[in-house]
Amino acid sequence: MNSTPLSHDSDPALTNSRPVVRLKPKAEARAIRHGFPWIYADELVTDRRTQNLTPGTLALLEDGDRRPMGVVTVNPNSKIIGRMLDQNPDAVIDQAWLTARITRAHAMRARLYAAPYYRLVHAEADGLPGVIIDRFGDTAVIQPNAAWAEAHLDALTAALIAVTGVKNVLKNGTGRARSMEGLSDETVTLHGTIDAAIPVPMNGATYMADLIGGQKTGLFFDQRPNHAFAATLSNGARVLDLFSHVGGFGLAALAGGAQSVLAVDGSVPALALADQGAAASGFADQFTTRQGDAFAVLEALAGEGAQFDVIICDPPAFAPAKPALEAGLRAYERIARLAAPLVAPGGYLGLCSCSHAADLTAFRNACGRGIGRGGRRGQLIHTGHAGPDHPMLPQLAESGYLKALFYRLDG
């Protein structure tokens, strides 16, 4: 990795001669001035010069009256053609600028968490559009999901190390967001060495995170407060953890005093890590796994007459974008319908969604329909969201993607 700081001389896009891009006269400049971070392709004048800009180019954004609005990164190949980096038109986007943004993000997490295991940078909400950084002690994983971050990855990595002192940095360049930016899939170690799963202490349990071969960055920190709430329901309970990944809700439930946990997931490697986490936490005798499709497993469990005191369903995004919304809501309804009959009288059902396209109301309505179609009625006792290491940008509803609904079901 080349960790030489970016300078005016080394990157023409960072000089005062950066190109100018302009909003169309009818574009909503006010929203951008008030903090909305994205410019869509149909809002920008896309003449030949703009279309020929290299993805990730830094440019001066002007409104329709040619008044400067700030520094944006431009990707002509993306529906989100512009991302606001700094509302100061004269801002220099170099390593010092990146260091300042990461320092600000780090200061909040250090205040909130006693140990350095958290989401360190949550993209637009932390002023680094398209950038995700998760920290696992001395190791950090960067997801550069926007072209500008990919182009300036050396400086971003150097700034990260300077602020946090981490010894190992991994680039996880996979996922739908990168493909939408026209970026290739690539996972590579940028600094140090990463050769084994990392133990992560959280909510009284130990989780094993595979940073190289696992989903996303290896662990989902966003569910931490919802894991903790589920644990409060689990003392003495028989718990079913569906879509458990590496132990998710199940290990937290055992830390909260659960009698037993059955973890279900489609991934054999994820369940192996869940078993390792249960052993490391001292819960091996109370923790069992079952590999398979969650819908099929629920149907099988019903045929077996199984019942649980607490069931948690934490599926992948069934509605990642608007075209998938209706099908996604049907899937959420179906999982609730299949799970509800397996909850013992007076037991609890937790239903989660990480779908950007399904807002809280639509998700809650789908869950309610599913519970009713499953022959049960319930009280909604708690609504959870992502933890404070996943801050929400108020102007960007998409940054508040996670929903967790907890119901107490009647007899």
**pLDDT tens by residue, 65-82:** 999 999 999 999 999 999
Residues 187 and 244 in one domain: no
- Identify which of 31, 406, 395 has the alpha carbon closest to the alpha carbon of residue 231: 406
pLDDT of 14 > 70? The answer is no
Beta bridge partners of 39: 82
Whether residue 212 is found in the same domain as residue 173: no
Tokens standing for residue 263: 């973890």
Is the entire prediction scored with pTM above 0.85? Answer: yes
The Cα 389–Cα 125 span in angstroms is 10
Write down the pLDDT at residue 12.
Answer: 37
Residue 403 and residue 284 share a domain: yes
Identify the three-state secondary structure at position 260.
strand
Cα–Cα dist 316/380, whole Å: 22
Residue 336 located in a structural domain: yes
Instruction: Indicate whether 270 and 404 sit together in one domain.
Output: yes
Residue 4 pLDDT more than 60?
A: no
The CATH number linked to 55 is 2.30.130.10
* CATH number of the CATH domain containing 140: 3.30.750.80
Task: Report yes or no: 235 and 256 within 8 Å, Cβ to Cβ.
Answer: yes
From the number of C-beta atoms within 10 Å of its C-beta (0-12, 13-18, 19+), residue 118 rates as buried
* Beta-ladder partners of 351: 313, 405
Q: How many CB atoms are closer than 10 A to CB 87?
A: 15
DSSP 397: G
Residues 106, 250 within the same domain: no
Stretch 242-261: mean pLDDT, rounded?
A: 98
Split at pLDDT 50, 70, 90, the class of 363 is very high
